[in-house]
Chain A
Amino acid sequence: MRYPFPVGKSDFIQGDEAIARAAILAGCRFYAGYPITPASEIFEAMALYMPLVDGVSIQMEDELASMAAIIGASWAGAKAMTATSGPGFSLMQENLGYAIMTETPVVVVDVQRGGPSTGQPTLAAQGDIMQAIWGTHGDHSLIVLSPSTVQEAFDLTIRAFNLAEKYRTPVVLLTDAEIAHMRERVYIPTPGEVEIIDRKLPANEEEAKYPFGDIHGDGVPPMPIFGKGYRTYVTGLTHDERGRPKTVDAEVHEKLIRRIIEKLERNREDIISYDAFELDDAEVAIVSTGIVSRSAVRAVKILRERGVKAGLLKLNTIWPFDFDMIEELAERVRKIYVPEMNLGQLYHLVKEGANGKAEVELIAKIGGEVHTPMEIVERVVG
């Protein structure tokens, strides 16, 4: 396989470009999108690369269509991705819910910008955390990942595809305008260096009869993709294990929805990833995600220099959320600070996790600029 970019070496590239290259290495061969700042460069890179690797890149009429197209492509057997920013992500929510309900592996990149509405198109924000987790209606679960460097944007994109395939679920890669447009050195591995996971297909006709049943006991049914003679019917309506609509049967609904949520819950350890800095003896903790974590790392160093035992927990997975881990942390520290580029979204999750065991304080900042390390330091030292 020939790649349209150098592999097995480092390159100095933007976050958006890193996401596109990672997607291709992860096996993505279908991209559908609609242009929007600051995510357009992902699309432009995919448009350049996809025809060369025998994949498809298509500009749809809007984000509703983009989301629909990648779900269709996934059922036809392709690994598929779309990328957007806040307003487009809002439009995708209807079909994101469809992907959850039909257990379709797809990757959705949301490059956050200031909102609500068309807000601040060129400036970074972290205002879509709640939208990513809870944007679609009904009881549901999905996976949300969040990078803080361009290298992480690359690595987490590959991870997003792997998790989507492994758990037959949509995965949202939640990044922001800052990472999207910043250039950093990124190591682009050769395909042999990275683990690539493909979806479980039915082993035989019998397995294919239950495309929505827990036939292997792991909550993740094999996915009978179209055109293999399995005659699978896929619907966004509540359906039984065979995929037949059962819209007024409480038991069928409960069984389906609980399985969809629990297949992720019981694999929390595999899905949840985080980095801890200086947390072992910490008396105050900072919990953050994405771009703000970079200021937080520096803030921890400054605080330590000033004699404050500070540490950082950087969340790479935002959902499923590790409430227990936060509670354990809260038992060990005096106070938890949550710097984020919104008026308090991660804060709510952390506060719930802390469960009253430690005080939790929000360090909110909106308007487009990332917190400076000193802004965090000053709040911590009072």
Chain B
Amino acid sequence: MYLKSAYEIRDKYLRKDMLPTIFCPGCGIGSALQYTLRAIDDLKLNPDEIVWVSGIGCSSRVPGFVNFDGLHTTHGRALAFATGIKLANPNLKIIAFMGDGDAAAIGGNHFIHAIRRNLDVTVILINNFTYGMTGGQVAPTALKGLRGTTAPYGQFENPFDIADLAVSAGANYVARWSVFNYLQGINSIKKALQKEGFTLVEFLSPCPISFGRRNRMKTAPELLRWYQKITVPLAKAKKMPPEELEGKIVIGEFADRDRPGLVREYGAYKKRAKKMMGWEE
């Protein structure tokens, strides 16, 4: 794959008047954004037909920086807004950029139901195990023992495995990578963008400022080494006993299927309605 320079991607897709971004040095959100833009670029998608949607959080600021139509909504509810956009104009392709707190805590209900409906949307989910924007409170993805300002002695609750959740709820495509797996990341986004229905690419993303600092990993390289330590590729994980997988995060592609998306389902429903009422043309 020929890779354009980051400058080319930046100049082509970012809103210059919005720069610099609000992201801290070492933050992984910019990388995930770059991968998404590269995927759009590689697929030659028409930016006029793409709408970016987000909730609230650092990751949710992304739609402001890209030169597309964008809806920066309320905390956790991006996918509910997206449902309205997509059903009102099915020609629009929707990318939802969200944080782990946004998607799995306050937005948990919207998240599982958008997946159940197989809403046609590509979710790019930034999992930094924390609430970055509000300063490092624990997120529902935080592994046991990780610290946050609201669990200063280490998280005592069980974490959600977001990818797992999405697979069970019925998503058409689910993959998880750390932001350091850039080729896999871009390829996954490309796959996701080409599919109908609900597609999710989750990125384990360094947040040195709100998260790393409180967990003895002050810099992105330290977080990178930690990700390398805790992530296990899917093929390898399959051969590992459950005890060994304790505290680890599996990365890879978890679902790749082609169930009909919500737009197609509603189209068929509309036809059925007309037929049942004797309204066929």
Residues of A bordering B, CB below 8 Å: 2, 4, 29-30, 32, 51-52, 54, 56, 58, 60-62, 64-66, 68-78, 80, 94-95, 98, 226-237, 244-245
Contact = CB atoms under 8 A, between A and B. Distances in A.
Given A65-B80, A78-B88, A227 B17 contact: no
Contacts of B17: 244
B24 to A, nearest CB: 17
Interface in B86-100: 86-89, 91-92
Interface string B236-280: 000000000000000000000000000000100110111001010
B157 interface: no
Contacts of B113: 60-61, 65
Contact of A234 (B67, B71, B82, B277): B71
B81 interface: yes
Given A58-B83, A65-B113, A236-B74, 16 more contacts: A32-B83, A56-B266, A64-B110, A68-B73, A72-B71, A72-B84, A74-B84, A75-B71, A75-B85, A76-B86, A226-B71, A226-B92, A227-B91, A231-B69, A234-B71, A244-B17
A231 B52 CA distance: 10
Contact of A68 (B51, B69, B80, B88): B80
Nearest to A98: B74
Contact of A226 (B69, B73, B274, B279): B69
Interface of B: 15, 17-18, 47-49, 51, 53, 63-64, 67-74, 77, 80-89, 91-92, 109-110, 113, 266, 269-270, 272-274, 277, 279
Contacts of A98: 73-74
A112 B135 CA distance: 40
A62 B109 CA distance: 9
Nearest to B69: A226
B127 to A, nearest CB: 22
Given A2-B279, A76-B92, A60 B51 contact: no
B66 to A, nearest CB: 9
A30 B81 CA distance: 13
A73 B88 contact: yes
A68 to B, nearest CB: 4
A61 B110 contact: yes
B82 A72 contact: yes
Contact of B83 (A65, A232, A245): A65
A104 B221 CA distance: 44
Nearest to B281: A2
A29 B17 CA distance: 36
Contacts of A54: 270
Nearest to B71: A234
A76 B72 contact: no
Given A60-B113, A62-B109, A227-B69, A68 B87 contact: no
Nearest to A54: B270
Contacts of A229: 48
A69 B80 contact: yes
Contacts of A233: 15, 63-64, 69-70, 72
Nearest to A230: B69
Given A60-B113, A233-B70, A30 B279 contact: no
B88 A80 contact: yes
Q: SS class of chain B's interface: helix, strand, loop or mixed?
A: helix
A139 B49 CA distance: 35
Contact of B77 (A29, A30, A68, A227): A68
A268 to B, nearest CB: 30
Contacts of B82: 72
21 contacts: A29-B88, A51-B272, A51-B273, A51-B274, A62-B109, A64-B80, A68-B80, A68-B83, A70-B84, A72-B82, A72-B84, A73-B87, A74-B84, A76-B92, A77-B89, A227-B89, A227-B92, A233-B64, A233-B69, A236-B74, A237-B72
Contact of A232 (B49, B70, B87, B91): B70
Contacts of B88: 29-30, 56, 72-74, 76-78, 80
B110 A76 contact: no
Given A29-B88, A51-B270, A60 B83 contact: yes
Contacts of A230: 69
Contacts of B70: 232-234
Contacts of B86: 72, 76
A71 B81 contact: yes
Contacts of B91: 227
Nearest to A66: B80
Nearest to B112: A61
B85 A94 contact: no
A265 B104 CA distance: 41
A60, A69, A231, A232, most chain B CB atoms within 10 A: A69
B56 to A, nearest CB: 8
Nearest to A244: B18
A70 B18 CA distance: 28
Contact of A95 (B63, B77, B269, B270): B77
B279 A72 contact: no
A73 B51 CA distance: 12
A56 B265 CA distance: 12
B87 A56 contact: yes
Q: Which residue, of B74, B77, B88, has the highest number of chain A Cβ atoms within 10 A?
A: B88
B54 to A, nearest CB: 9
A65 to B, nearest CB: 4
Nearest to A51: B273
Residue in B69, B71, B84, B89 whose Cβ sees the most chain A Cβ within 10 Å? B84
Nearest to B109: A61
B69 A52 contact: no
Nearest 10 Cβ contacts at the A-B interface: A72-B84, A68-B80, A51-B273, A73-B84, A69-B84, A65-B80, A76-B88, A73-B88, A72-B81, A235-B72
A136 B279 CA distance: 42
A66 to B, nearest CB: 8
A292 to B, nearest CB: 35
A72 B80 contact: yes
B138 to A, nearest CB: 23
